[in-house]
């Protein structure tokens, strides 16, 4: 997969791309990332990429000319799916990451300032938001999207089962995890995890996943794949079918 990033601050991507999952994906050749400086597509002596908003108001607005020129340049070479990181976009999710991981090429467009000229949006395929809060720009959001996608690419995590067990991958939050020592300052690992009884361990993990989801993200239960055993366990905890929808 090739991912292009359009930004005013390419330097923000150096360290993240050189570490962890993103580094591994690039070293394997599974992921290529090309970071483009938006000012390279700006005209004039000052390479201006923003201007004051029509109608007045605070801050500056990103101009359409350099943005569209950059989008068209990348699109002509690679035909990527064009994604604008925007607080007005649909909420990014594990399902969306899984879908985007199947694309051949992506272009992530990072906004700045008070936003960008509305006419630019006619040149993108979709808008994505990583949450209901304000960032200084789309760079951090682009890195979140990149990381979420990279770990789903074949071979990147080493253990093919790892992504399938993560929170949200099954529609639920992940069960608690433990490792050595068995006793840490009086807090012991649950006996079932030491039993070697695989069926009992699987049942405990599923129940803990259901319990955590009910406590912290009950809204997820409305769409999670629940069987009769799951529903019976949740009802014992006070859940009713239809809660959290």
Active site residue 211: no
In the numeric block, which tokens belong to residue 59? 């801050």
Question: What angle do helix axes 20-28 and 139-150 make, rounded to 10 degrees?
Answer: 60
Strand partners, 32: 2
Query: Are the beta carbons of 20 and 35 closer than 8 angstroms?
Result: no
Question: What angle do helix axes 228-236 and 198-216 make, rounded to 10 degrees?
Answer: 60
Active site residue 151: yes
Q: Per the residue annotation, which of 24, 82, 151, 211 is the catalytic one? A: 151
Active site residue 87: yes
Q: Per the residue annotation, which of 10, 53, 64, 87 is the catalytic one? A: 87
Q: Per the residue annotation, which of 65, 103, 114, 165 is the catalytic one? A: 114
Active site residue 112: no
The 10s digit of each residue's pLDDT in 165-222 is 666 777 999 999 999 999 999 999 999 999 999 999 999 999 999 999 999 999 999 9
Q: Give the DSSP letter of residue 88.
A: E
Q: What's the burial of 148, exposed, middle or buried (CB within 10 Å: 0-12/13-18/19+)?
A: buried
- C-alpha span between 142 and 242 (Å, rounded): 35
Structural domains of the chain in order of their starting residue, each with its CATH number? 2-150 (3.40.1280.10), 167-236 (1.10.1270.20)
pTM, to two decimals: 0.89
């Amino acid at each position: 997969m090739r991912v292009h990033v359009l930004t005013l601050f390419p330097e923000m991507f150096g360290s993240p791309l050189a570490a962890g999952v993103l580094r591994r994906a690039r070293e394997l050749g599974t992921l290529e990332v090309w970071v483009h400086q938006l000012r390279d597509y700006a005209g004039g002596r000052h390479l201006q990429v923003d201007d004051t908003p029509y109608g007045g108001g605070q801050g500056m607005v990103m101009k359409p000319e350099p943005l569209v020129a950059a989008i068209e340049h990348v699109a002509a070479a690679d035909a990527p799916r064009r994604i604008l990181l925007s607080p007005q976009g649909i909420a990014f999710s594990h399902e969306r990451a899984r879908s985007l991981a199947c694309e051949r090429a992506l272009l992530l467009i990072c906004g700045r300032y008070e936003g960008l000229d509305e006419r630019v949006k006619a040149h993108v395929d979709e808008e994505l938001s990583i949450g209901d809060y304000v960032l200084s720009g789309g760079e951090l959001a682009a890195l979140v999207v990149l990381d979420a996608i990279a770990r789903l690419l074949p071979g990147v995590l080493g253990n093919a089962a790892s992504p399938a067990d993560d929170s949200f991958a099954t529609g639920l939050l992940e069960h608690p995890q433990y490792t050595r020592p068995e006793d840490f300052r009086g807090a012991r690992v649950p006996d079932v995890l030491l039993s070697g009884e695989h069926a009992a361990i699987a049942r405990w993990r599923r129940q803990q996943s259901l319990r955590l989801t009910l406590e912290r993200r009950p809204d997820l239960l409305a769409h999670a794949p629940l069987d009769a055993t799951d529903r019976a366990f949740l009802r014992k905890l006070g859940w009713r079918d239809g809660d959290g929808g």
